[in-house]
Structure 1
């Protein structure tokens, strides 16, 4: 659409006669032209205003603005940020006389470079004079690929100066993403107290500086989503986050458990993903989730390394997992036994969907990786999974331990409706990136597997193999 739109506009403006200079698109009413512009990348939409007098006023009426410094051409940060601040100043300035303009969504992604932060703040201030957006997002990042410790501190100083100098825009933020900062212990509490409308906070490749523990005590916060990606700290303590619905913690280097949940009564979705490191010891879910009663979706990604969850008795888990509906266990190393995963089935009486993923290749092994050991667990002899309806296994192999595992689930899950068994995804690691995809395509083999799984079983579950 973008190339067609620009071609038509350029062609009509340069070749049409005065009587024919209205092309079909330009003849459309404003509200339809705005729909077209909102499908374009924002700087491209800006350009349409200089291509035709018919379109000149339209960029100032866009209600959805997404402006990302990473997409601006150039290799020097000064060049990129000069162009970036020029664009947002023109976009966010008051519209020409007679134009009606409401910004519903405003997303700004920019580098933490001086002296451009004040220009961004002034432009956002101009936009706020017209009206408060329904959704306001800042994504601030350092402009160095692998920043040093000193650069992490510098980016933090720049951001916090920006933050303290312009509390007005921050008080209206919906989402804040920060990358490559080294925080002091009071920074996150100050951010949450000032950004009192903040619903989503994402901290990527950041770290705690002096105090290695991230403590979030925000009883009045509107925060519903917290994302920690490669976040460097010893531990996270969620003291009070009464409206938090989702936590994503991807890759930690501190001690286990990575998070302690104190008062997080509304948490429904938890995603833990990390390779185990040599100083990690397995932890129990009840140890860190104590007090939670509303969890409905659980994601655990082991990155083909040591299993960092310790199986535990259902009596400890059932109060926490009483509302759990979906459980996803990703990237279990292929040599590991699977019976230990049944402790989740035993401790989650409402579980309906269970997803397992096995991998035979190394996804993230380093010299600090923990030694992989088999996890042994004996499922209770009389347990029944009364609500389980779907079992999905990616990385299925016709091996005794895998076949026995599936048969055992079929026996225990009395209302199981469907089983999906998929061969392992093609390996994407450098050592095997020429390996062709492997699929169970032989229909006779599929039928043989089905017969082996159902032999002596009363289960009526459909078995899908592919």
Structure 2
């Protein structure tokens, strides 16, 4: 028995060096909670040892397909790791690198000098280990302020294999315009979070497929597009303050021709788009999935039909309400957004598409049958979609520490989501009396996704 155990342990000891994909994350070595620089130093020391054990061992004979590396740029630690990774690339031990460079500073503490220092550190790291840029396929940067020329040179001239770029609180100075003209770039995914940029002008990124832009700080449209023939998915999310100006979505989308999936999320605040109808038809010509999330639960919903009328080819329409009692009366929120939310100024559609709706699935998250405008909205969508197969009604409740900490937790606006069959059957009967539709109606708790739902009832 001892001999068998010895043989087995020997085999297992070699297993890590046979793994084709490795993930080395400095946060896995941080104690919880992390209380300061000493803990970060210890975590980086542990990460350096782990990286060395995988990349400096002569026993590794197999190529690493992908190394996912997350680190802080700290003195000898990042130099040692940079050298190990660079050598692994040069000797063809490592094929693809996914790199995330963290910073110890929170966004609120990241003023100009902090961001410029982080930019110098990032630039110094890549200058010292240029081989890293050669196989970099994914890059995630935090709190970096580059000069525009340096930023474009690094991201699009040097990182020729870069497929996925994420920037958290990064820019080329406050209220600057970032112009991207990279006809030879392979970039597929661009994600930007909490940027102080005035605007990004994506003049040319021929292989770009997905853009996610979240929480822009300037008060105008955050994006405009030039040549992006491959762009299929666009995600825009922002809780706009009173200072944010409404902008034309059709102007943002001017230059796009193949948008397939679009998500607009308002985080419970005002609708930051100008009312448009026919102007959106060209950009929405190939739209198949439309998600409109974060609509305050008391807001009227019929304005969203303007978007469907402009995109009759949509097959999946997902609307999700926003209700967080923990934010009501919060002083910080009131200072930014005011106590009274700004209702949508859009009117019920003044035009109808010459094409019939192709809608197959309608999802309504946060449905409250006691709110008349919710019931009206659901029945209106059902009535206008002759090919509708499924209506999915969900409670729209997601974990929130702020709401869960409230004692007592206030009941939802419009009452609780119907969970008993009698109430559900009454709602189904009411909907079918209002509109003739053969669509299957599903009540689901937990999540719209079947694998994460806690229960479902089908009618």
TM-score by structure 1 length? 0.84
- Structure-to-structure mapping, 1:39-118, within 5 angstroms: 53-73=10-30, 75-93=38-56, 95-96=58-59, 100-118=61-79
Change (3 A) 1:107 1:429: closer
The yes-or-no answer on 1:148 pairing with 2:126 is no
- Of residues 217, 238, 253, the one that matches 1:253 is 217
Measure the CA separation in 1 of the matches of 2:39 and 2:429.
Answer: 64
The yes-or-no answer on 1:428 pairing with 2:380 is no
Deviation for aligned residue 1:144: 2.7
The yes-or-no answer on 1:348 pairing with 2:348 is no
SS at match of 1:255: coil
Change (3 A) 1:408 1:132: same
What residue is the counterpart of 2:342 in the other structure?
A: 373
SS at match of 2:2: coil
Q: Deviations over 1:82-140 (max 9, x none)?
A: 332232123112523xx622111111110021233321221012212332644311111
- Structure-to-structure mapping, 1:46-445, within 5 angstroms: 53-73=10-30, 75-93=38-56, 95-96=58-59, 100-131=61-92, 133-146=94-107, 147-149=109-111, 150-191=113-154, 192-209=156-173, 212-314=176-278, 316-361=279-324, 365=333, 367-369=335-337, 372-375=341-344, 376-380=346-350, 382-383=352-353, 385-398=356-369, 399-425=371-397, 428=400, 430=402, 433=405, 435=409, 438-445=416-423
Q: Deviations over 1:144-193 (max 9, x none)?
A: 33543222221111111112222221121010011122222223201221
SS at match of 2:104: coil
Deviation for aligned residue 1:382: 4.8
Deviation for aligned residue 1:266: 1.0
8 Å contact from structure 1 (residues 95, 101) kept in 2: no
Measure the CA separation in 2 of the matches of 1:202 and 1:177.
Answer: 5
Report which of the two structures shows the higher radius of gyration computed on alpha carbons: 1
Deviation for aligned residue 1:377: 1.3
8 Å contact from structure 1 (residues 180, 205) kept in 2: yes
Measure the CA separation in 2 of the matches of 1:422 and 1:248.
Answer: 25
8 Å contact from structure 1 (residues 318, 349) kept in 2: no
Deviation for aligned residue 1:198: 0.2
Deviation for aligned residue 1:57: 4.1
SS at match of 1:271: strand
SS at match of 1:265: coil
Deviation for aligned residue 1:22: 2.2
Measure the CA separation in 2 of the matches of 1:378 and 1:80.
Answer: 57
What residue is the counterpart of 2:449 in the other structure?
A: none
- Of residues 448, 451, 462, the one that matches 2:429 is 451
8 Å contact from structure 1 (residues 228, 248) kept in 2: yes
Measure the CA separation in 1 of the matches of 2:401 and 2:70.
Answer: 31
Change (3 A) 1:363 1:153: farther
What residue is the counterpart of 1:7 in the other structure?
A: none
SS at match of 1:367: helix
Measure the CA separation in 1 of the matches of 2:334 and 2:52.
Answer: 46
Change (3 A) 1:360 1:124: closer
Deviation for aligned residue 1:21: 3.0
Q: How many residues align?
A: 420
Measure the CA separation in 2 of the matches of 1:242 and 1:104.
Answer: 26
Change (3 A) 1:363 1:430: closer
Change (3 A) 1:245 1:362: farther
SS at match of 1:303: coil
What residue is the counterpart of 1:49 in the other structure?
A: none
Moved more, 131-140 or 323-332: 131-140
The yes-or-no answer on 1:23 pairing with 2:23 is no
